[in-house]
Structure 1
Amino acid sequence: MSRKQLDFFHSGSAERAVAPPKPVAEKPKLILIDGMAMLYRAFFALQRAGMTSRDGKPTGAVYGFTSALLKIFETYKPDYLAAAFDSREKTFRHHLYPLYKANRSAPPEDLISQLDAVFELLAAFDIPLIKIPGFEADDLIGTAARIFQPECAVFIVTPDKDLAQLVQDGVSILRPGKNQNELELLGRSEIAEQFGVPPERFTDLLTLTGDTSDNIPGAKGIGPKTAATLLGKYDSLQNIYLHLGDLSPKNRLTLEEFQPQLDLIKQLVTIRTDLQIDLTLKELACGSPDLTLLLPLLNKLELKTVIGRLPVVFPKLMEHASLEASMHDGPDSPLAAAEPELRSPRTGADYGVITTEEGLKALINSLQDAPRIAVDTETTSLNTFEAELAGISISTEARKARFIALANSSLNPQSALELLRPLLENPELPKTGQNLKYDILVLKKYGIDLTPVGFDTMLASYVLDPEEKHNLDDLAARHLGYKTTTFEELTGTGKAKLHIFDVEPEQLSDYACQDADLALQLEEIFRKKLEGEKELLWLCEHIEFPLVSVLAAMEHAGICIDTPHLEKTSEAVGKELELLTEKIYAASGAPFNIDSPKQLSNILFNVLGLPTKKSTKTGFSTNVEVLEELAELHPVVASLLEYRTLQKLKTTYIDALPKIVNPLTGRLHTSFNQFITATGRLSSSNPNLQNIPIRSPLGKEIRRAFIPSSPDKWLLSADYSQIELRIAAEISGDPQLIEAFRNREDIHTATARVIFGSDEITPDMRRKAKEVNFGVLYGIMPFGLSKRLNIPRSEAIAIIDTYKAKYPGLFLALQEIIETGKKDGYVSTLLGRRRYIADLNSRNSNIQKAAERAAMNTPIQGTAADIIKCAMNLCSERLRKNSMRSVMLLQVHDELLFETTDEEKEPLADLIEEAMIDAAIICGLKNVPVEVDTGIGKNWLDAH
Structure 2
Amino acid sequence: MIKRKWMIIDGNSLLNRTFYALPPLTNTKGIHTNAIYGFASILMKIIDEEKPDYMGVAFDERKPTFRHKDFKEYKAGRLKMPEELAEQFPLLKEMLKSFGIEMVSLEGYEADDLIGTLSRYGEEQGLEVNIITGDRDAFQLASDQVIIWYTKKGISHLDKINKEEILKKYEINPKQLIDVKGLMGDKSDNIPGVPGIGEKTALKLIKEYGSIEEIYHNIDKISGKKLKENLEKYKEQAILSKKLGTIVRNIPIEIQLEDFKLKNPYNKKIIQLFREWEFSSLLEKIGVQKTPTLLQQKTLEYQEIINIEQLKSILKLIEKEKILYLQWLLEGKNHRKKFLEGLGIARKNGQLYLLNLENLEITKVLGEMKEIFENEKIKKIGHNLKEFMVFLFLYNIRLEGLKFDTYIAAYLLEPSENKYDLSLLVAKYLNQSILGEEQILGKGKKSKQYKDISYQEKSDFLINQLDGIIKLYTVLKEKIDEQNMTSLYYDIELPLIEVLASMENLGFHVEKEKLKELSKEFGEKIDLLTNEIYQLAGEEFNINSPKQLGQILFEKLKLPVIKRTKTGYSTNIEVLERLKDKHPIIEKIMEIRQLTKLKSTYVDGLMDLIDPETQNIHSSFNQTMTSTGRISSSDPNLQNIPIKMEMGRRIRKVFVPKNSQSYLVDADYSQIELRVLAHISGDEDLIDAFNREQDIHTHTASQVFNVDIQKVTPLMRSRAKAVNFGIVYGISDFGLSRDLNISRAEAKKYIDNYFAKYHRVKEYMEEIVEIAKKQGYVTTLFGRRRYLPELQSRNYNIRSMGERLALNTPIQGTAADIIKIAMVNVYKRLKESQMQSKIILQVHDELIIEAVENELEQVEKIMIEEMENAADLKVALKVDISYGKSWYDTK
Query: Which residue of structure 1 lines up, in the alignment, with residue 884 of structure 2?
Result: 937
> 2:60 touches 2:109 (CA, 8 Å); kept in 1?
yes
Query: Which residue of structure 1 lines up, in the alignment, with residue 250 of structure 2?
Result: 274
- Partner Cα separation in structure 1 for residue 381 and residue 132 of structure 2: 46
Comparing 745-754 and 790-799, the one that deviates more: 790-799
Match among 725, 734, 747 for residue 674 of structure 2: 725
Post-superposition offset of 1:718? 0.8
Comparing 547-556 and 147-156, the one that deviates more: 147-156
Quickly say closer, same or farther: Cα 1:386–1:759, change in 2 above 3 A: closer
What are the superposed Cα offsets for residues 158-210 of structure 1, whole Å, 9 maximum, x if unpaired?
A: 9x9999899967578999xx9xxxx99977579x9xxxxx9999x99999768
Task: List aligned pairs for 1:109-124, cutoff 5 A.
Answer: none
Task: List aligned pairs for 1:228-627, cutoff 5 A.
Answer: 274-276=250-252, 281=257, 342-344=293-295, 346-350=297-301, 353-361=304-312, 363-364=314-315, 367=318, 373-394=324-345, 401-406=352-357, 408-409=358-359, 411-451=360-400, 452=402, 454-457=404-407, 460-461=410-411, 464-466=414-416, 468-471=418-421, 482=433, 484=435, 486=437, 490=441, 504-520=454-470, 530=480, 533-535=483-485, 539-613=488-562, 620-627=569-576
Post-superposition offset of 1:488? 9.1
Query: Which residue of structure 2 lines up, in the alignment, with residue 27 of structure 1?
Result: 3
The one-letter amino acid paired with 1:346 is: Q
- Partner Cα separation in structure 2 for residue 620 and residue 853 of structure 1: 39
> 2:772 touches 2:778 (CA, 8 Å); kept in 1?
yes
Post-superposition offset of 1:678? 4.8
Post-superposition offset of 1:445? 1.1
Quickly say closer, same or farther: Cα 1:801–1:35, change in 2 above 3 A: closer
Post-superposition offset of 1:519? 4.4
> 2:733 touches 2:747 (CA, 8 Å); kept in 1?
yes
Query: Which residue of structure 2 lines up, in the alignment, with residue 681 of structure 1?
Result: 630
Query: Which residue of structure 2 lines up, in the alignment, with residue 747 of structure 1?
Result: 696
The one-letter amino acid paired with 1:884 is: M
- Partner Cα separation in structure 1 for residue 105 and residue 713 of structure 2: 64
- Partner Cα separation in structure 2 for residue 453 and residue 522 of structure 1: 14
The one-letter amino acid paired with 1:147 is: Y
Task: List aligned pairs for 1:680-699, cutoff 5 A.
Answer: 680-694=629-643, 696-699=645-648
Post-superposition offset of 1:935? 1.7
Query: Which residue of structure 2 lines up, in the alignment, with residue 316 of structure 1?
Result: none
Post-superposition offset of 1:891? 0.8
- Partner Cα separation in structure 1 for residue 321 and residue 6 of structure 2: 63
Unaligned runs of 5+ in 2: 19-24, 31-41, 84-88, 166-173, 207-211, 216-235, 276-290
Post-superposition offset of 1:442? 0.6
What are the superposed Cα offsets for residues 881-913 of structure 1, whole Å, 9 maximum, x if unpaired?
A: 333332101111211111223332222222211
Task: List aligned pairs for 1:783-794, cutoff 5 A.
Answer: none
Task: List aligned pairs for 1:646-665, cutoff 5 A.
Answer: 646-665=595-614
Task: List aligned pairs for 1:128-277, cutoff 5 A.
Answer: 143-150=117-124, 151-153=126-128, 170=146, 274-276=250-252
Post-superposition offset of 1:693? 3.4
Query: Which residue of structure 2 lines up, in the alignment, with residue 310 of structure 1?
Result: none
Q: Indicate the SS of the match to 1:903.
A: helix
Percent identity over paired residues: 36
Query: Which residue of structure 1 lines up, in the alignment, with residue 282 of structure 2?
Result: none
Query: Which residue of structure 1 lines up, in the alignment, with residue 825 of structure 2?
Result: 874
Match among 618, 623, 639 for residue 669 of structure 1: 618
Match among 898, 910, 917 for residue 849 of structure 2: 898
The one-letter amino acid paired with 1:883 is: Q
Quickly say closer, same or farther: Cα 1:369–1:613, change in 2 above 3 A: farther
Comparing 385-394 and 351-360, the one that deviates more: 351-360
Quickly say closer, same or farther: Cα 1:741–1:390, change in 2 above 3 A: same
- Partner Cα separation in structure 2 for residue 578 and residue 70 of structure 1: 44
What are the superposed Cα offsets for residues 266-317 of structure 1, whole Å, 9 maximum, x if unpaired?
A: 98x999753555655578778999xxxx99x99xxxx9xxxxxxxxxxxxxx
Post-superposition offset of 1:463? 5.8
Q: Residue 644 in 1 paired to residue 596 in 2?
A: no
Post-superposition offset of 1:871? 1.6
- Partner Cα separation in structure 1 for residue 598 and residue 62 of structure 2: 58
- Partner Cα separation in structure 2 for residue 373 and residue 617 of structure 1: 63
Q: Quote the RMSD (CA, aligned, Å).
A: 6.4
What are the superposed Cα offsets for residues 631-657 of structure 1, whole Å, 9 maximum, x if unpaired?
A: 222221212222223333333333443
Quickly say closer, same or farther: Cα 1:80–1:709, change in 2 above 3 A: closer
What are the superposed Cα offsets for residues 681-722 of structure 1, whole Å, 9 maximum, x if unpaired?
A: 322223322222346433443223222222332221111112
Post-superposition offset of 1:375? 2.5
Scaled by the length of structure 1, the TM-score of the pair is 0.67
Query: Which residue of structure 2 lines up, in the alignment, with residue 770 of structure 1?
Result: 721
- Partner Cα separation in structure 2 for residue 765 and residue 491 of structure 1: 56
Post-superposition offset of 1:839? 11
Unaligned runs of 5+ in 1: 1-24, 51-67, 106-110, 193-197, 211-217, 223-229, 243-258, 304-339
> 1:47 touches 1:825 (CA, 8 Å); kept in 2?
no
What are the superposed Cα offsets for residues 384-414 of structure 1, whole Å, 9 maximum, x if unpaired?
A: 44323233123569998543132x21x2323
Q: Indicate the SS of the match to 1:457.
A: helix
Quickly say closer, same or farther: Cα 1:174–1:919, change in 2 above 3 A: farther
Q: Indicate the SS of the match to 2:435.
A: coil
- Partner Cα separation in structure 1 for residue 592 and residue 130 of structure 2: 47
Quickly say closer, same or farther: Cα 1:692–1:485, change in 2 above 3 A: closer
What are the superposed Cα offsets for residues 737-783 of structure 1, whole Å, 9 maximum, x if unpaired?
A: 22110101122332344333252455555445434433544566778
- Partner Cα separation in structure 1 for residue 257 and residue 102 of structure 2: 11
Quickly say closer, same or farther: Cα 1:440–1:854, change in 2 above 3 A: same
What are the superposed Cα offsets for residues 765-818 of structure 1, whole Å, 9 maximum, x if unpaired?
A: 544543443354456677876776678998777666654443344455457667
- Partner Cα separation in structure 2 for residue 870 and residue 418 of structure 1: 33
The one-letter amino acid paired with 2:819 is: I
Equivalent pairs counted in the alignment come to 802
> 1:32 touches 1:81 (CA, 8 Å); kept in 2?
yes
Query: Which residue of structure 2 lines up, in the alignment, with residue 914 of structure 1?
Result: 865
Q: Indicate the SS of the match to 1:622.
A: coil
Q: Indicate the SS of the match to 2:397.
A: coil
Task: List aligned pairs for 1:835-846, cutoff 5 A.
Answer: none
Match among 813, 823, 834 for residue 786 of structure 2: 834
- Partner Cα separation in structure 2 for residue 156 and residue 559 of structure 1: 56
Q: Indicate the SS of the match to 2:839.
A: strand
Query: Which residue of structure 2 lines up, in the alignment, with residue 709 of structure 1?
Result: 658
Scaled by the length of structure 2, the TM-score of the pair is 0.70
Quickly say closer, same or farther: Cα 1:920–1:639, change in 2 above 3 A: farther
Quickly say closer, same or farther: Cα 1:900–1:134, change in 2 above 3 A: closer
> 2:322 touches 2:379 (CA, 8 Å); kept in 1?
yes
Comparing 517-526 and 383-392, the one that deviates more: 517-526
> 1:48 touches 1:836 (CA, 8 Å); kept in 2?
no
- Partner Cα separation in structure 2 for residue 521 and residue 137 of structure 1: 57
Q: Indicate the SS of the match to 2:853.
A: coil
The one-letter amino acid paired with 2:305 is: I
